Amino acid sequence: MAEQLRIVIIGAASPQWGHGISRDIIVAMSSDAICGSYEPVLVLEDIDANNLAMQERLARKVAELAGGRVRIESTTDQRQAIEGARFLVVTIAQGSLEAMQRDIEIAEEHGIYMPVGDTFSIGGAIRAARNIPAMLSMARDCEAVGHDNAWLLNLSNPMSILCRAVTREARVNTIGCCHELYGGIRFLSECLGFEYDSWRDVLDFDVLGVNHCGWMPRLAIDGSDGLAAFRDYLAAQGITAATSRLYDSPVPHLRRQNVKINLFLEHGVLPYSGDRHTAEFFAEFVNAQTNKGANYGVLLTTPQERLVEWRGGHREQNLKRIAGALDIDMNVSQEAASRIITALTLGEPFLDVGNVPYHGRELPDIPDGAVLERMVTYDAGGATPNTPLPLPPRIHRHLVLLTRIIEDIVEASVNGNRPLLVDALRRDPLLSNMDREKIPELAGKLLDAHRAYVHPGFF
């Protein structure tokens, strides 16, 4: 009898993420290479029983279209789901969009504007405080009843902080998987003329940073210096490091990239994540003086839009797929989780971006074990990150600051240490846009709003 290959999606009921992730895994696990050696089982787990039932029906339709080779199960029992699991794919948000709405609204009351609000600064810190207890619960269940060589693939934000909490507190192989790099590469393809779909064949590059604030210090396009080519492209457009209001540019693909362009021209390395994420790691881009980010093409996503379009819209699409009123796209998305699972299972090397712990001497003052975003080779030996290239001194100091703040947010969230959380927030770049004496008040309001999810030691 073939060995069971048990894969669990924790948070599978998400209308936005559940279908795409399960579809990718089902298609990948239906290959002859997998099914020739394993009996693949996909388990969907969530505390939301109603939406979980919808996702189970949809996953069964996908499995049928893929040849009926993957068994689908669902449960609201986390430990039962994890028992024997080789892979945990985690996509959670404690408190869901309603909690995120409180984060954004309370921050705005203090003059802090967050385009996304899920990764760093006050939005990321309080989201970490909500999600870390749940993440550690999964990791400890995995230690107790999961596969001996289990892997946790985290897709949840704040990614760097959550992954660091797991790698610090548990003995579970952990990878953070993010798609922001692909958007940066697509932007470069629009500027420099290479085919996006062929980027793995024509590009050679390195990345380094924390999730959503990663940098590309080296880029070769068919052997030529891609960063120099990008600099020449911007010069030809008359763009300098001081340029703002690119939303007026006649070149459509430049309008929402003002932040990364300014940072690239100032520092010589390219931040590749979307500007809405990158801007939250700095003080100067999103504040009252920049029209809440609009001067740099950064738009604030309202909580109302998230609720209506993200949750409601995706649920409507999923119901149409189940009813046959909307075709099910069986093409695997650009999300890397299914490809990483395949590489770790079959041993065929796969190079992609990943968030993994750093242990080395190449990066002075970076805490040992800090989770950094790098290019990683996945194969039968595990996840092997590339040796990092150095960043310019100012950007390196910024990275040191971010990693040390993350260490303190993790420590504070694991132990319910309010003074340490406040101290971390006092050093946050974005929060320099408010009266720092009011930071304890801001943190207190948000902790009170999310008391049900965070460590009781905060109170």
Looking at the predicted structure, is the pLDDT value of residue 1 above 80? Answer: no
Among residues of the chain, what percentage have pLDDT more than 70? 100
- Would you state the pLDDT for residue 320? 96
- Would you state the pLDDT for residue 12? 97
Q: Distance between CA atoms of 252 and 43, rounded to whole angstroms?
A: 42
Looking at the predicted structure, is the pLDDT value of residue 266 above 90? Answer: yes
- Would you state the pLDDT for residue 2? 85
What are the start-end ranges of the E strands in 339-391? 350-357, 371-379, 382-385
Looking at the predicted structure, is the pLDDT value of residue 303 above 90? Answer: no
What are the pLDDT digits (tens) for 327-346? 999 999 999 999 999 999 99
Q: Distance between CA atoms of 64 and 14, rounded to whole angstroms?
A: 21
**Cα separations in angstroms, 195 against 58, 203, 234, 455:** 33, 10, 19, 48
Q: Residue 299: pLDDT band by 50, 70, 90 thresholds?
A: very high
Mean pLDDT of the chain: 96
- Would you state the pLDDT for residue 349? 97
Angle at 17 between CA 12 and CA 23, to 5 degrees: 80
What are the pLDDT digits (tens) for 99-146? 999 999 999 999 999 999 999 999 999 999 999 999 999 999 999 999
Q: Residue 309: pLDDT band by 50, 70, 90 thresholds?
A: confident
What are the pLDDT digits (tens) for 61-76? 999 999 999 999 999 9
Residue 380's CB: how many other CB atoms inside 10 A?
11
Of 54, 137, 145, the closest CA to residue 92 belongs to: 137
Q: What is the mean pLDDT of residues 4-18?
A: 94
Looking at the predicted structure, is the pLDDT value of residue 271 above 80? Answer: yes
386: Cα separation from own chain's centroid: 19
**Cα separations in angstroms, 131 against 11, 163, 245, 393:** 12, 11, 36, 33
Q: Which two tokens stand for residue 6?
A: 């048990």
Q: Distance between CA atoms of 35 and 28, rounded to whole angstroms?
A: 10
- Would you state the pLDDT for residue 168? 98
Of 184, 179, 361, the closest CA to residue 259 belongs to: 184
Q: Which two tokens stand for residue 407?
A: 């260490």
- Would you state the pLDDT for residue 371? 98
Q: For the ranges 177-181, 182-186, 308-312, 448-452, which has the lowest average pLDDT? A: 308-312
Q: What is the mean pLDDT of residues 77-105?
A: 96
Looking at the predicted structure, is the pLDDT value of residue 298 above 80? Answer: yes
Residue ranges of domains in the chain, CATH in brackets: 3-95+121-179+312-346 (3.90.1820.10), 96-120+180-300+347-459 (3.90.1820.10)
Q: What is the mean pLDDT of residues 9-31?
A: 95
Q: Residue 16: pLDDT band by 50, 70, 90 thresholds?
A: confident
Exposed, middle or buried: residue 333 (CB in 10 Å: 0-12, 13-18, 19+)? middle
Locus of tokens 């990364």: 260
Looking at the predicted structure, is the pLDDT value of residue 227 above 80? Answer: yes
- Would you state the pLDDT for residue 142? 98
Q: What is the mean pLDDT of residues 377-391?
A: 96
Please give the model's pTM, rounded to 2 decimal places: 0.97
Rounded to 5 degrees, φ, ψ at 108 are: -65, -30
Q: Residue 363: pLDDT band by 50, 70, 90 thresholds?
A: very high
